[in-house]
Amino acid sequence: MTEEEIKTTIFQLLQRIAPETDPSRLMPEENIREALNIDSFDALQFIVAINEKLNVDIPEEDYGKTSNLKSLLAYLTKKLKE
Amino acid sequence: MSEMIKITYREAIKQAIRDVMQNDERVFLMGEDVGNYGGAFAVSKGLLKEFGSDRIMDVPLSESGFTGAGIGAALAGMRPIVEVMTVNFSLLAMDQIVNNASTLLHMSGGQLNVPLVIRMGCGIGRQLAAQHSHSWEPFFAHVPGLIVLSVGTHEDARGMLISAMQSLDPVILFEYTFMLNLEKEIPADSGTVEIKKAKVLREGNDISLITYGAGVYKCLEAAEVLGQEGIEVEVIDLRVLRPMDEETFLTSVKKTHRALVVEEAWKSVSISSEVVSRIMEKAFFDLDAPVERLCGVEVPIPYPKHLEDASIPQVSDILEKVNKMLKP
Amino acid sequence: MEKKKKLDSKEGQRLLKQMILIRRFEEKSAEEYTKSQIRGFLHLYSGEEAVAVGVIQALTEADNILCTYREHGHALARGVDPKAIMAEMYGKQEGCSKGRGGSMHLFEATKNFFGGNAIVSGHLPLSVGMALAAKKQKKNNVTCCFFGEGAAAEGEFHESMNLAALWQVPTLFVCENNQYAMGTAIKLTHSVQQLEKKGPAYGIESAAVDGMDLLAVMEAADKAVKMIKEKGKPYFLVCNTYRFRAHSMFDAELYREKSEVEEWKKKDPIPKFQEFLLKGKLITAKKITEIEKAVDAQIQEAIEFAENGTWEDNENLIRFVYSDTESI
Amino acid sequence: MIKFQMPNLGADMEAGTLVEWRKQLGEFLHRGDIIADVETQKGLIEIEVFEEGTLEKFLVKEGEKVPVGTVLALINDGKSEVTESTVSGEEIQKPEIHPIEDRKEIVHENTELGERIKISPLARKIAEENRIDISLLKGTGPEGSIVKKDIEKAISEVKKPIKDAEKEADKTKEISVKPSGPTSDAMRMAVAAAMSKSNREIPHYYLEKRMDMSKAMDWVKEANKDRPVQNRLLPVAVLIKAVAKALDEVPDLNATWENGLHRKNEINIGFVISLRSGGIVVPAILQSDSKTVDEIMETINDIIPRARAFKLRSSELSQSTFTITNIGEGGADKVFGLIYPPQVGIVGFGEISEQPFAEEGMLGIRPVVDVTLAADHRATDGLIGSRFLAALNRHLQNPEEL
């Protein structure tokens, strides 16, 4: 899976959670939850969705590494290569 | 796209009569003053010379008699065109039309056809006062067995008679005398027209103007003005008043969600009454506003011009009403 | 007297049988009416048989016949199947008008029998039109129109007489003057009670005849038809007659004395004609009984046919309104 | 005979439209069965029946809008008979669950409802399809009627994206005084009605306490360590459970005030859920005290998506006995809530954040949360309130016992 494909998947999942937003306009280092108004419940849903879609399990201690687009992409790319 | 020609309403009708007479020797025209006088409104002028007195028949003033004779001739294999000089005199032939022309097919269990066309001059607007300013379309449209057509445009003036002559059932054709001198463009090869369907003459999404006969050009003119104001008006010429083609106007109303019905006949128990009823029955949940009507004022049409004008819907009335309906 | 000489045994018996058939058929109809098998208006022809039989024998199959609502006799004389007539009165779809018309609207196009017209005088213009068509088509057939003396007071009678004479068309107007327009005596409805005098005013050759005398009617009718076919002009024949039964089934007959009815019954055309045939050895008493039995059997057959007839499905209700579609 | 009424599903509910009967006449109803769907300002709600018996008679037809308390149907429980005179569709009953208005007012409301709303047939159809409550719209059509355009406007407002700035402003002010946020008129009006009533009628007092969340957070972290993502806990589940246990100790706060304090037997914690489209819904987590933290989390997982899809059941909307607002997690340190009548308290959690925290003479950086309590002074005094906060804090320091 290319980084671009991962990005597309992320956008799709975010769009599903926050349908009225445009995730593709997120800045790389912008805090996703703040930018898209995602509360803790939706954040957890997002993690669940990533797990189901990409089969990547993000442990709770890694939540900090997924706060913006740039770090999330890097994190998932790395995980997917493992 | 065929070539367009300019033609008066009168000439269009005359050409249609000539067409059908040339193409079918069973056809003959009879009516008061259709021959030597040239037609009360000069529609059949010259036809006597062309076709002879056997086929262009002047008749005495006996509307019931010659209309009934037309029915009899149709029963016996002819294709008569009966001209009732003006719709006002049609009341004298009402028994023949309603009790014979419209019923024979049914009463005989399908044995007898009455392929007859009755043309009637009608319309309001020439200061002819109460007895010569009738809109009897609703009377005739009430009767099952009749086909009632309203000639609201030049193209129909040219084609409706030709198509009507092909019908096996009696057809009443309403012609609007005030339009006789009006010149419009029609395709040079105009001929038969559809006589089962209404026609969308102008498309629009904001409101449906449903009309016939004398209302057609008025509505088109109003639509033109409203179009410049950004209001998209759909204009529907009913054309066939019986059997009424409801599909066309229901489709339109389902698109525009608003309708205004315009006619010159008196408002009560009129064609518009029928149109509105059908909209209520079949498009109620598509309405975004009450359906409105502009009809003849319920008064014997008075002689003075200004009062006559006030008796029937004018373009300005249509403009005002549409504006009110769209910008409450 | 020419005719009397010519009348042979076979033709005499045929005409007698027609009159007996009509008489018995009407009696049976009255009976069925009281049993509610026949509904609506039922007008019986008893007493007037000589008119229909006498006139129609003068016509050929190509000649057109139009009648009033008292037309069972004419239909029978014309040769319309009694079974189809009875079924029509029962309202069954095997009826001659598919059950749509009933007693007042018997039609049989294949026998040029055009009803069964129930608006008094309304069919007179039709007959003129049919004759006009014949003239235009250069056919040598007569259109025979029966009507009562009541119709002669209508405007359409006068319009039709005028048109027929004006156009010189082959119409045989037969006025069956049975003395009463429903319940109003002729002296109360006509200023000039010798109705045959009305013809000459229009330039129409006219005659009056004893309508209770078959031979007299035959002679007059033969003469009239001969003239029409030779000259292509209309003819007006008045048959003075009498109906023995009430106007319709729901009639208390307050307007005439029983003695008057009895007086007319002495002129009953059937015994009179029987006597003539017996005297001339054109028939035997035994043969008369045979005819009566045959007629009774024929009527019984008609009743059974009507009873076994079928009702038209409600789904078909709007059939025969327009010829090319079953929808309205 | 049982009179089944249009339930009051909240202080902000005045009327409901019976959309569909889900049971048929003659059917035997069990407690908890869904008997009907009712359209409210907050969407389509499944209405449960709380008695057992045979469905005897419908008194309100589908599509009818009736005030709260209107008898909708008769259920035959084999007991007393109801005479004709006492039963009619228009009968106003004192609502069983939350009698919030006195009789006179309800009658007045009823008359208002009796006035037909002028709306075009097309607009009505579109409104029904999109679940727009037309009673709150202002028409711009002929004679002030509601027309298609008005409905389309209402729909577009429901769907309109929320601007961040507006939402931030909303959050700091919480549910009490939201400015004209982008939300459906209906939802806005509902919140407005309830909160105005609250602010008008309830004398609030406020208490505040900062609580150490390190133990609770560690406990959550530990619990989540070996769980698949689907089963992970959120801190809010712990907060809810802790509140439930605290309420169990301080029952005067788990109560309603209706001409006096009425303690509730069950602890059903209403949990404020913000909708992305604006507005809030407050479904109840029933019997929170007897649920484990895991069960509460399961309930949250079940209830939030349904709340956002307007698919809550009537009991979930009507039966909360106390409210929690956790809106602070969006960034605000503290939240001062307005009580949802006729409840008597609301607890607000601010954002859990790392703060210097002194304990037993030691200063450290710890995750803390600022907890506020707003309580009805008619029902309780500050002492009760502070006792509640103390109990809550104690439970948060012993998460393993939750």
CB-count burial class (<10 Å; 0-12, 13-18, 19+) for B170: buried
Chain-centre distance for alpha carbon D338: 13
Sole residue written with tokens 């029955």: B281
| Interface mutation vs chain B, best among D118, D119, D122, D150, most B CBs within 10 Å | D122
Q: Which residues of D touch B284 (CB under 8 A)?
A: 121
- In angstroms, what separates the C-alpha of B18 from chain C's closest C-alpha? 19
Asked if B touches A (at least 3 Cβ pairs < 8 angstroms), the answer reads no
Note the pLDDT of residue A11.
Answer: 86
**Nearest-Cα residue of chain B relative to residue D128:** B285
Closest CA to B26 of B62, B46, B52, B55: B55
What percent of chain D lies above the pLDDT cut of 90? 21
Tell me phi and psi for residue C187, to 5 degrees. -70, -15
**Nearest-Cα residue of chain D relative to residue A50:** D229
**Nearest-Cα residue of chain D relative to residue B287:** D122
In degrees, rounded to 5, the angle at the alpha carbon of residue C134 between the alpha carbons of residues C132 and C135 is 65
Helix (H) or strand (E) holding D36, with range, is strand D34-40
| Amino acid (one-letter) located at C204 | I
Retrieve residue B314's tokens: 């004018």
* Alpha-carbon distance values, D187 to C326, D40, D67, D319 (Å): 54, 10, 18, 19
Q: Mean pLDDT, to the nearest integer, of A41-60?
A: 84
Give the residue extent of every domain in chain D.
2-114, 187-401
Q: pLDDT grade, residue B254 (50/70/90)?
A: very high
In degrees, rounded to 5, the angle at the alpha carbon of residue B18 between the alpha carbons of residues B12 and B21 is 140
* Distance between CA atoms of residues D255 and D189, nearest Å: 26
Closest CA to D150 of B268, A37, B288: B288
Q: Is C114 on the interface with B (CB under 8 A)?
A: yes
Fold entry, domain D187-401: Chloramphenicol Acetyltransferase (3.30.559)
Asked if B57 contacts B103 with a C-beta cutoff of 8 angstroms, the reply is no
* Distance between CA atoms of residues A8 and A30, nearest Å: 17
Neighbour tally for D32: CB within 10 Å: 11
Determine whether B63 is an active site residue. yes
Q: What share of chain B is helix, strand, coil (3-state, %, to 5)?
A: 40, 20, 40
Note the pLDDT of residue D103.
Answer: 33
* Distance between CA atoms of residues C206 and C218, nearest Å: 15
Note the pLDDT of residue D192.
Answer: 80
ipTM: 0.64
* Residue B213 pLDDT greater than 50, yes or no: yes
* Distance between CA atoms of residues C216 and C224, nearest Å: 12
Determine whether B308 is an active site residue. no
Note the pLDDT of residue B1.
Answer: 61
In tens, the pLDDT along B264-280 reads: 999 999 999 999 999 99
Rounded to the nearest integer, the mean pLDDT of chain A is 83
Does the distance separating the beta carbons of A41 and D236 come in below 8 Å?
yes
Note the pLDDT of residue C52.
Answer: 98
Asked if A21 contacts A14 with a C-beta cutoff of 8 angstroms, the reply is yes
Q: Which domains does chain B have, with CATH numbers?
A: 4-187 (3.40.50.970), 199-326 (3.40.50.920)
CB-count burial class (<10 Å; 0-12, 13-18, 19+) for C35: exposed
Q: Is C163 on the interface with B (CB under 8 A)?
A: yes
Q: Mean pLDDT, to the nearest integer, of D157-184?
A: 44
* Residue D83 pLDDT greater than 60, yes or no: no
Closest CA to B211 of C121, B220, C176: B220
| Interface mutation vs chain D, best among B276, B280, B288, most D CBs within 10 Å | B288
* Alpha-carbon distance values, D325 to A7, B239, B295, D182, D284 (Å): 34, 67, 63, 20, 12
* Alpha-carbon distance values, B13 to B48, B167, B172, C82 (Å): 15, 18, 15, 49
* Residue D82 pLDDT greater than 80, yes or no: no
Asked if B121 contacts B69 with a C-beta cutoff of 8 angstroms, the reply is no
**Nearest-Cα residue of chain A relative to residue D328:** A39
* Residue D7 pLDDT greater than 90, yes or no: no
Q: Where are the alpha helices (DSSP H) in C97-175?
A: 124-136, 155-167
What is the four-CA torsion angle of B101, B102, B103, B105, rounded to 10 degrees? Answer: 80
Note the pLDDT of residue C325.
Answer: 56
Q: Which residues of A touch D224 (CB under 8 A)?
A: 59-60
Note the pLDDT of residue D80.
Answer: 61
**What are the 10-residue block averages of pLDDT along chain C, 328 residues in total?**
68 97 95 89 95 98 97 98 98 96 96 95 98 96 97 97 98 97 94 96 98 97 97 97 88 87 96 96 96 97 97 92 66
Asked if B70 contacts B26 with a C-beta cutoff of 8 angstroms, the reply is no
Note the pLDDT of residue D185.
Answer: 65
**Residues with Cβ within 8 Å of residue C157, at least 6 apart in sequence:** C121, C124, C147, C151
Within 169-198 of B, beta carbons closer than 8 Å to C belong to 169
Instruction: Give the residues across from D369 on adjacent strands.
Output: D211
Does the distance separating the beta carbons of B328 and D142 come in below 8 Å?
yes
Q: pLDDT grade, residue D186 (50/70/90)?
A: low
Closest CA to C272 of C226, C217, C324: C217
* Distance between CA atoms of residues B91 and B140, nearest Å: 10
* Residue D13 pLDDT greater than 80, yes or no: no
Tell me phi and psi for residue B6, to 5 degrees. -90, 135
Q: Is B205 on the interface with C (CB under 8 A)?
A: no
Does the distance separating the beta carbons of D277 and A40 come in below 8 Å?
no
The region that residue B262 occupies, defined by phi over 0 for left and psi between -120 and 50 for alpha, beta otherwise, is: beta
Q: Which residues of A touch D330 (CB under 8 A)?
A: 37, 39
Q: Report DSSP state, residue B145.
A: T
Rounded to the nearest integer, the mean pLDDT of chain B is 96
**Nearest-Cα residue of chain B relative to residue D141:** B328
Weakest-pLDDT range from B47-61, C117-131, D102-116: D102-116
DSSP A3-38: HHHHHHHHHHHHHHHSTTS-GGG--TTSBHHHHHT-
Size of interface A-D (CB pairs under 8 A): 47
Rounded to the nearest integer, the mean pLDDT of chain D is 78
Q: pLDDT grade, residue A68 (50/70/90)?
A: confident
In tens, the pLDDT along D46-75 reads: 787 877 888 888 888 888 888 888 888 888
Q: Which residues of C touch B96 (CB under 8 A)?
A: 122, 125
* Residue B7 pLDDT greater than 50, yes or no: yes
> D: neighbours with 3+ CB pairs under 8 Å?
A, B
Q: Mean pLDDT, to the nearest integer, of D196-215?
A: 89
Does the distance separating the beta carbons of C115 and B108 come in below 8 Å?
yes
Q: pLDDT grade, residue D329 (50/70/90)?
A: low
- In angstroms, what separates the C-alpha of B207 from chain D's closest C-alpha? 13
Q: Where are the alpha helices (DSSP H) in B45-124?
A: 47-51, 63-75, 94-95, 104-107
* Distance between CA atoms of residues C62 and A63, nearest Å: 105
* Alpha-carbon distance values, B305 to C113, D91, D135, D373 (Å): 53, 62, 50, 83
Helix, strand, or coil (residue A67): coil
Asked if A touches D (at least 3 Cβ pairs < 8 angstroms), the answer reads yes
Out of D160, D167, D300, closest to residue A41 by CB: D300
| Bridge-based pairing state of the strands D15-21 and D28-29 | unpaired
* Distance between CA atoms of residues C68 and C247, nearest Å: 13
Weakest-pLDDT range from B264-268, D22-26, D357-361: D357-361
| Amino acid (one-letter) located at D235 | P
Q: Mean pLDDT, to the nearest integer, of D363-376?
A: 90
Note the pLDDT of residue D17.
Answer: 85
Retrieve residue C247's tokens: 């106007």
Cis peptide preceding B138, ω within 30 of 0? no
Out of C116, C136, C163, closest to residue B78 by CB: C136
Q: Is B285 on the interface with D (CB under 8 A)?
A: yes
Does the distance separating the beta carbons of D167 and A40 come in below 8 Å?
no
CB-count burial class (<10 Å; 0-12, 13-18, 19+) for C22: buried
* Residue D79 pLDDT greater than 90, yes or no: no
Q: Is B281 on the interface with D (CB under 8 A)?
A: no
* Distance between CA atoms of residues A3 and B4, nearest Å: 65
* Distance between CA atoms of residues C165 and B72, nearest Å: 16
Neighbour tally for D105: CB within 10 Å: 11
Going B42 to B44 to B47 to B49, the CA torsion angle's sign is negative
Q: Which domains does chain A have, with CATH numbers?
A: 3-81 (1.10.1200.10)
Weakest-pLDDT range from B86-100, C233-247, D123-137, D336-350: D123-137
Helix, strand, or coil (residue B45): coil
Q: Which residues of D touch A59 (CB under 8 A)?
A: 224-225
Q: pLDDT grade, residue D316 (50/70/90)?
A: confident
Out of B32, B63, B137, B234, pick the active-site residue. B63
| Amino acid (one-letter) located at D371 | V
In tens, the pLDDT along B178-199 reads: 999 999 999 998 889 999 999 9
Instruction: Give the residues across from D21 on adjacent strands.
Output: D36
Out of A20, A35, A39, closest to residue D162 by CB: A20
Q: Which residues of D touch B287 (CB under 8 A)?
A: 120-122
Q: Which residues of B touch C140 (CB under 8 A)?
A: none
Q: Report DSSP state, residue D313.
A: B
Q: Is D124 on the interface with B (CB under 8 A)?
A: yes
Which of the following CATH numbers is that of domain C2-316: 3.40.50.300, 1.20.1440.230, 3.40.720.10, 3.40.50.970?
A: 3.40.50.970
* Distance between CA atoms of residues D325 and D321, nearest Å: 14
Q: Mean pLDDT, to the nearest integer, of B271-293?
A: 96
Give the residue extent of every domain in chain C.
2-316
Could you give the angle at which helices C124-136 and B63-75 cross, rounded to 10 degrees?
Answer: 50
Q: Is C328 on the interface with B (CB under 8 A)?
A: yes
In tens, the pLDDT along A19-33 reads: 778 888 888 888 888
Helix, strand, or coil (residue D257): strand
Q: Which residues of D touch B286 (CB under 8 A)?
A: 121-122, 125
Note the pLDDT of residue D90.
Answer: 40
- In angstroms, what separates the C-alpha of D214 from chain A's closest C-alpha? 15
Fold entry, domain D2-114: OB fold (Dihydrolipoamide Acetyltransferase, E2P) (2.40.50)
Note the pLDDT of residue D105.
Answer: 30
Weakest-pLDDT range from B109-113, C144-148, D396-400: D396-400
> A: neighbours with 3+ CB pairs under 8 Å?
D
Q: Mean pLDDT, to the nearest integer, of D109-123?
A: 67
**Residues with Cβ within 8 Å of residue D181, at least 6 apart in sequence:** D162, D166, D167, D170, D188, D278, D279
Instruction: Give the residues across from B296 on adjacent strands.
Output: B266
Does the distance separating the beta carbons of A20 and D159 come in below 8 Å?
yes
In degrees, rounded to 5, the angle at the alpha carbon of residue C113 between the alpha carbons of residues C107 and C114 is 65
Tell me phi and psi for residue B109, to 5 degrees. 65, 35
In degrees, rounded to 5, the angle at the alpha carbon of residue D311 between the alpha carbons of residues D193 and D168 is 55
Does the distance separating the beta carbons of B64 and C97 come in below 8 Å?
no
Q: Mean pLDDT, to the nearest integer, of D317-338?
A: 82
Q: Mean pLDDT, to the nearest integer, of A46-54?
A: 85
**Nearest-Cα residue of chain B relative to residue C115:** B108
Neighbour tally for B208: CB within 10 Å: 28
| Bridge-based pairing state of the strands D362-376 and D204-212 | antiparallel
